Amino acid sequence: MTFWTYRRRDNLVGYLFVAPALLGSLAFVLIPLVLVGWYSLNEWNVLGGTFEFIGAENYQQLLNDEKLRSALVATAWFAVGLVVLNLSLALLLAVLLNQKLRGTTLFRTLFFSPVLVSLVAWTLVWQLMLQPEGSVNGLLGFFGIDGPNWLRGESTAMISVIVVQVIKNVGLNMVLFLAALQGVPAPLYEAAKIDGAGAWTRFRRITIPLISPTILLTSIITIVGSLQVFAQIAVLTQGGPGTSTTVLIYYLYQQAFQFHHFGYGATISVLLFVIVAALTLVQWRMRRKWVLHES
């Protein structure tokens, strides 16, 4: 009996086919993931070239870190603001653009186009527009409103970052909602209409339950995305004023790459990983309650 049986040969071919993807995720996902866990147990002085095992010390620091607490609060504000604004605006736009009217294609393209723009270019343009003498305040001045110095006020800076991010990405969720809305069978609406249901009742009792899988999907994507916002903060506010927009991932960047505390930075990324995993798990569990098809 030869070594190269059909079965073995088939297996080999199979492995070769998946090898590129497997190697890629090994090199760029799995190995870094394990390494980050390992780094978080060490103190790594990049300049001095020392790498010292310190056990759970970084995790202890995590518990006593006041700046981390303020970063978590900023992250929560950002995530809540972004998810609420993004999802409600996306759904509103989708419902409006789901009408069979002239020009809806133009508007769909218009609202979707920011998704395709380079993130940094988008943010830089907004940075100019949000200057005290910028075009946003120019527009407000046209209506007799004296606009604030958006990026220098503690609450206005956070609002600015959220709005810039929402306008950038709302088109993506809008398209997902549009697709879901078009999947709702028209006879259901007709039947409800005959039974005397108004527009709001039809929306609440038919549309929302039937597009609930998409609501779940978009909320997971948006929440996970909100925890990973970096370039906008780096360009618009650098975490300021004060530390009002220093969200978790920006704090991680500061600790690891600016303050050279790579070990502690790795510890924060473990925390971020746990938070994202926990949120996703919770949402996944809740799907039975939220999503019509799952009950």
Q: Which residues bind other proteins (CB under 8 A)?
A: 22-23, 26-27, 31, 44-49, 131-133, 149-152, 238-243, 246, 254, 257-260, 262
Q: How far is the CB of 224 from other proteins (least distance, A)?
A: 25
In this structure, are residues 272 and 227 in contact, taking their beta carbons and an 8 Å threshold? Answer: yes
Q: How far is the CB of 276 from other proteins (least distance, A)?
A: 24
Q: How far is the CB of 238 from other proteins (least distance, A)?
A: 7
Please give the Cα distance from 271 to 77 (Å, whole number): 18
Q: How far is the CB of 37 from other proteins (least distance, A)?
A: 15
Q: Which is nearer to other proteins, 39 or 111 (CB)?
A: 39
Q: Which is nearer to other proteins, 207 or 269 (CB)?
A: 269
Q: Which is nearer to other proteins, 86 or 245 (CB)?
A: 245
**Residue 286 to residues 49, 131, 139, 220, 291: CA-CA distances in angstroms?**
47, 42, 43, 12, 8
Please give the Cα distance from 20 to 27 (Å, whole number): 10
Closest Cα to residue 241, out of 163, 157, 164, 165?
157
Q: How far is the CB of 16 from other proteins (least distance, A)?
A: 12
Q: Which is nearer to other proteins, 111 or 264 (CB)?
A: 264
Q: Which is nearer to other proteins, 44 or 177 (CB)?
A: 44
Exposure string over 166-191, b if 16+ CB within 10 A, otherwise e: bbbbbbbbbbbbbebbeeeeeeebee
